[in-house]
Amino acid sequence: MKGLRRSMLFVPGNHPGMIQNADIYGSDSIIFDLEDAVSLQEKDSARLLVKHALRKIDFGETERVVRINPLDTGCGTQDLKMMVAAGPDALMIPKATARRLIEADLMVGEIEAALGGNRQPLAFIPIIESAVAVEEINELLKASSRIVAALLGGEDLTADLGIQRTKAGDELLYARSRVAMACCACGVDAIDTPYADTMDDEGLAKDTAKGKTVGFTGKAAIHPLQIEVIHRVYAPSEAEIHEARQIIRAMKQAEREGKGAVAVDGRMVDAPIILRAEKLLQQAKAMGVHDMTDNVNGGA
């Protein structure tokens, strides 16, 4: 469904078989990768392949994102020129910094103006994968009004820091919290770094929950089997939905009775708790796990 970005599946841009069926696995977004999944020798052919796929294949409601090469390389500039014309929903910009995003915004604006027509401005999803990007995150997210989300790049970030990437992920705690907080402040989606072990569902679920806990709204995937796990973790649980409905019902009852404060199961319910319950029910509705009319009518 376009709109949600719980799961974003990386698909190598040099693999026609994977590209062709990329939407059947149910991820909210597909990221056609022209960067790290494609060798230097295959950059030109991958660019052409992705361009034709965008023009000829109907990927339904799935958001179509292209990860270009870094814009300080010749490949990146060529990717950008061809992809703006091919018309994906968003460009994913690796090795992002505030300055590079300002430059990208200008370049894309010029290409869009030259192409003419009634185009939606192309959206940007920068990858935060250097110490500089983490430290300038607020400036970076404000560098272009095209930015709709940001992805944390754990592999490149730990490489930049010269530290080990572990399954437990303690080394990413600061960057995760900082990026998720800044994304919320700037009103864009926060997408967590992919989990590299495609055979370890339990590890993936734990890692996804870690990101969700600090405020990420979705996670990148590198294999179709990861999508269901990610969706399961991001879906509000039945218990959470039940509690949120109880809170909304109690609040409506209190309003009818002209009471300010209200308690649910002995716990005081006030404005932030009501706001959180409303947000949770909205998310559940967007994910198709809860009918919002229950909320509106105060029913169970």
Annotated binding-site residue numbers for Mg(2+):
129, 156
Q: Which of residues 114-173 bind ligand Q5B (CB under 6 A)?
A: 127, 129, 153-156
Please identify which residue in 20, 36, 142, 235 interacts with ligand Q5B, judged by CB under 6 A.
Answer: 36
Residue ranges at the known binding site: 67, 129, 156
Sorted by sequence, the CB contacts under 8 Å of residue 148 that are 6+ apart come out as: 90, 123, 124, 125, 188, 189
Residue ranges at the known binding site for substrate: 67, 129
Please identify which residue in 33, 156, 207, 294 interacts with Mg ion, judged by CB under 5 A.
Answer: 156
Sorted by sequence, the CB contacts under 8 Å of residue 191 that are 6+ apart come out as: 5, 8, 125, 149, 150, 151, 152, 216, 217, 218, 219, 220
Please give the residue whose beta carbon sits closest to Mg ion in the complex: 156
Q: Is 89 a residue that touches Mg ion (CB under 5 A)?
A: no
Q: Is 18 a residue that touches ligand Q5B (CB under 6 A)?
A: yes
92 interacts with, out of Mg ion, ligand Q5B, none, CB within 5 to 8 A per kind: none
- DSSP output for 42-83: GHHHHHHHHHHHHHH---TTSEEEEE---TTSHHHHHHHHHH
The C-alpha atoms of residue 249 and residue 294 are separated, in whole angstroms, by: 10
Q: Is 192 a residue that touches Mg ion (CB under 5 A)?
A: no
CB of 129 to Mg ion, least distance (A): 5
CB of 35 to Mg ion, least distance (A): 7
The C-alpha atoms of residue 269 and residue 195 are separated, in whole angstroms, by: 37
Interaction site with ligand Q5B (CB under 6 A): 9-12, 17-18, 22, 33, 36-37, 127, 129, 153-156, 193-194, 198, 222-224
